[in-house]
Chains A and B, each alone.
Chain A
Amino acid sequence: MQEINRETLIAKAKELLDAGTVDRLLGWKRGEFDWDVTPAVFTADNLGEFVYNSFCGANFSKYLIAETRKSEKKVLVFLKPCDTYSFNQLLTEHRFDRERVYAVGIPCEGMLDVAKIRGLSDNVASVTDGETVKIETLWDGEITSEREKLLAERCLNCKSKKHVAYDELIGEDGDVLDSHRFDEVERLESLTPDERYAFWQNELSRCIRCNACRDVCPACTCEKCVFDNPNSGLENKAAANEFEEKLFHIIRAFHVAGRCTDCGECSRVCPQHIPLHLLNRKFIRDIDNFYGEYQAGAEVGSRAPIVNFTTDDLEPSEAVRRDENA
């Protein structure tokens, strides 16, 4: 379960509100159930509805773009380690004013995936977090599960417990982890092109073009997306054919390449459970292999290797050859 709780965060929020450091905060609002929390802006008046539990996975970094435009006063935001990478990346891209944010880094023990819980029971009355997670159901009695088995994929493959941006930290900072996040990419690379095509054909066939992956993505911050422009011939709405679904995801993966921090929001929100993060991880791995290790968002102002020319750069033909030999 999480090291910190709701009360700790509310106390911190009150302290900062009272001191006038901030005049509002971005937080998670209680839902109908344990799992349907909603990002919301709080002031001292409505902190009663503030909640923090292991379903508070939403990455607030992108919300800061709109929120910091509303007022010159600072907004308080609680950032999990993975969120801080998106935070830095958005600062690198000059997407919000750092002076209008007070960032408090909070530790994270990984978030639960409600879809995995639904795999155990589809009538979830309540979820009690812990090393063993207790699921009270409507018709199946109490079900227990090891926490690890219910963790979101991105948390099982957590890349870092280290906060790369904050004004203050609650708890001890962690370390960059030696994760297994590229294992699945390697498995896909080891397939034949036909097998790999079949894999993506199967996954992307479920895409309904709801655009949730794009709309939640902290790297997708264009004021006007090409897929929202009727004159582009690619505007959103339903895919006209099978090709359009792939086109959408491939263009998106290219566009965020070098800027994607691997926060995993795309896969979290996909209502059709398409492992979209694998497309991005393929790009991250290729960039690492071809140009040296690079983590987007690790620091503010870093230039992604693919937008930065150096004389040591790999020739494009060499990149293709290495990829073919991979």
Chain B
Amino acid sequence: MRKLSLERLDALLSSISEKMPLYLPVDTDGGAHFVRFQSGLKPSEKLLPSKSAKDIFFPQSEELVNFKVDGKKIEIIDIRKECEDFVVWGVTPCDAKALRVLDNVFLAEPIDSFYKNRRDHGIIVSLACARPSETCFCQTFGIDAADPDCDVAIYKADGYLYLSPKTDKGEKLVASLADLTEDTDEKPVEDAKNTIRERLAKLPLANLKADAFGAGKTSKFFDAPEWSELSESCLGCGSCTFHCPTCQCYDIKDIDTGHGVIRQRCWDSCMYSEFTKMSAGQPRLTQKERFRQRFMHKLVYYPERYNGLYSCVGCGRCLRVCPIGMNIVKVMKKLGGNENA
């Protein structure tokens, strides 16, 4: 465990960015967003960046491969490049856990080499949540916001920043900052963890349970009459999906450049009418089915496939952004039978 005075935070961030690219959430006109660090930029004090660190590992759109066409000759141009090591600073514990959810999908065969490249080189520095929001419910999914699952956990207490490396990558990063930091005992961090856990227990959604969902529950919930009412006023926009740290669906499109093709992928949303459209049409004809798909995927299909792990991390972004105030908490309470939780 190492520490440094919070007054020297800028020196610490500058030191990291001299070694490798550093991304951190910075306040903008539209909330906190991850940007590449430059001297003078201050990390946002907001609890949640508007969009999660997912975007750095799985960007909203990216080129996969290019083709050069010359008459009947087609040349395949592999544009992949090994990226350099980089640091993502200030990832919330829920967003750090969300990367584990994405790992299950993208790092299984066939491995997504674009995602893997970034995951291999990315170092996740996660800030424990001293001031959780009323929209937080990470505990529902077994996440401990006092002890993030990441490379380096950081804590703020008594005017100091504490750095607790948790993986080899994290050890190396913290060791490289030895000249700025000093050794410390764990007591202040243990106290900070206790304070965080006390606050987590007091959150309005602290008692929300996901037990009713999980593997094997497809037939129980698929035809539930409640879906009609829950989805009744859904606009069919993609705000929830595009802010979600675990949504991972994408579409692939070939763009004709006149002398070749750029093959690009971009996020897709199960809320959209053209999602997974095939020659026979879109399998989910109304918004009710599209809405159901999103929540069944988070709460039933994903856990069924990946050892009971839910693909919601309780970050609460969907509670904040939905234009009609519908969200996974309301769905869980209505369907899971703990409406008064």
Binding site for B on A (CB under 8 A): 31-33, 35-41, 58, 63, 122-125, 138-139, 202-203, 206, 208-212, 214-216, 228-230, 235-241, 268-269, 271-274
Partner of A273, one of B31, B60, B131, B133: B31
Q: A40-B233, A237-B267, A238-B60 are in contact. Are A211 and B324 (CB under 8 A)?
A: no
B219 at the interface (CB under 8 A from A): no
A-contact 0/1 string along B18-49, CB 8 Å cutoff? 00000000001111010000000000001110
B203 at the interface (CB under 8 A from A): yes
A-contact 0/1 string along B302-329, CB 8 Å cutoff? 0000000000000000011111111101
B337 at the interface (CB under 8 A from A): no
Distance of B301 from chain A, by nearest CB (Å):
22
Residues 255-277 (chain B) with a chain A CB within 8 angstroms:
255, 264, 266-269, 272-274, 277
Q: Tell me the bound Cα distance from A229 to B273 in angstroms.
A: 9
Question: Could you say which residues of chain A place their CB within 8 Å of the CB of B236?
Answer: 211, 215
Distance of A123 from chain B, by nearest CB (Å):
5
Q: Tell me the bound Cα distance from A123 to B51 in angstroms.
A: 18
Partner of A33, one of B199, B204, B235: B204
Please tell me if the beta carbons of B237 and A272 are within 8 angstroms of each other in the complex: no
B134 at the interface (CB under 8 A from A): yes
Please tell me if the beta carbons of B327 and A36 are within 8 angstroms of each other in the complex: yes
Of chain B, the residue at the smallest CB distance from A46 is B229
B84 at the interface (CB under 8 A from A): no
Q: Tell me the bound Cα distance from A272 to B317 in angstroms.
A: 12
Q: A31-B330, A237-B266, A272-B50 are in contact. Are A38 and B204 (CB under 8 A)?
A: no
Residues 113-137 (chain B) with a chain A CB within 8 angstroms:
131-134
Please tell me if the beta carbons of B205 and A32 are within 8 angstroms of each other in the complex: yes
Task: Supply 17 further A-B pairs (C-beta < 8 A) apart from A210-B237, A272-B30.
Answer: A32-B204, A40-B233, A58-B323, A122-B47, A122-B48, A123-B131, A123-B134, A124-B133, A212-B235, A212-B323, A215-B235, A236-B274, A237-B269, A238-B266, A271-B50, A271-B243, A271-B320
Q: Tell me the bound Cα distance from A226 to B273 in angstroms.
A: 12
Please tell me if the beta carbons of A37 and B238 are within 8 angstroms of each other in the complex: no
Q: Tell me the bound Cα distance from A212 to B46 in angstroms.
A: 24
Interface residues on B, range: 35 or more
B239 at the interface (CB under 8 A from A): yes
Q: Which of B268, B272, B277, B324 has most A Cβ within 10 Å? A: B324
Please tell me if the beta carbons of A269 and B323 are within 8 angstroms of each other in the complex: yes
Q: Tell me the bound Cα distance from A39 to B235 in angstroms.
A: 11
Question: Could you say which residues of chain B place their CB within 8 Å of the CB of A230?
Answer: 274, 277
B191 at the interface (CB under 8 A from A): no
Please tell me if the beta carbons of B237 and A216 are within 8 angstroms of each other in the complex: yes
Partner of B324, one of A58, A124, A228: A58
Q: Tell me the bound Cα distance from A35 to B319 in angstroms.
A: 10
A-contact 0/1 string along B35-78, CB 8 Å cutoff? 00000000000111011000000001100000000000000000
Please tell me if the beta carbons of A237 and B272 are within 8 angstroms of each other in the complex: yes
Please tell me if the beta carbons of B323 and A239 are within 8 angstroms of each other in the complex: no
Question: Could you say which residues of chain A place their CB within 8 Å of the CB of B48?
Answer: 122
Q: Tell me the bound Cα distance from A206 to B32 in angstroms.
A: 11
Please tell me if the beta carbons of A215 and B30 are within 8 angstroms of each other in the complex: no
Question: Could you say which residues of chain B place their CB within 8 Å of the CB of A37?
Answer: 325
Q: Tell me the bound Cα distance from A31 to B266 in angstroms.
A: 33
Please tell me if the beta carbons of B60 and A208 are within 8 angstroms of each other in the complex: yes
B202 at the interface (CB under 8 A from A): yes
Question: Could you say which residues of chain A place their CB within 8 Å of the CB of B320?
Answer: 271
Please tell me if the beta carbons of A33 and B134 are within 8 angstroms of each other in the complex: yes
B86 at the interface (CB under 8 A from A): no
Please tell me if the beta carbons of B29 and A273 are within 8 angstroms of each other in the complex: yes
Q: Tell me the bound Cα distance from A35 to B326 in angstroms.
A: 11
B89 at the interface (CB under 8 A from A): no
Q: Tell me the bound Cα distance from A206 to B51 in angstroms.
A: 10
Please tell me if the beta carbons of A38 and B233 are within 8 angstroms of each other in the complex: yes
Of chain A, the residue at the smallest CB distance from B277 is A230
Distance of A86 from chain B, by nearest CB (Å):
15
Residues 183-234 (chain B) with a chain A CB within 8 angstroms:
199, 202-205, 229, 232-233
Of chain A, the residue at the smallest CB distance from B240 is A210
Distance of B237 from chain A, by nearest CB (Å):
4
Partner of A228, one of B203, B232, B272, B319: B272
B182 at the interface (CB under 8 A from A): no
Q: A38-B233, A139-B131, A212-B239 are in contact. Are A271 and B204 (CB under 8 A)?
A: no
Q: Which of B48, B50, B232 has most A Cβ within 10 Å? A: B232
Please tell me if the beta carbons of B199 and A139 are within 8 angstroms of each other in the complex: yes
Please tell me if the beta carbons of A206 and B237 are within 8 angstroms of each other in the complex: no
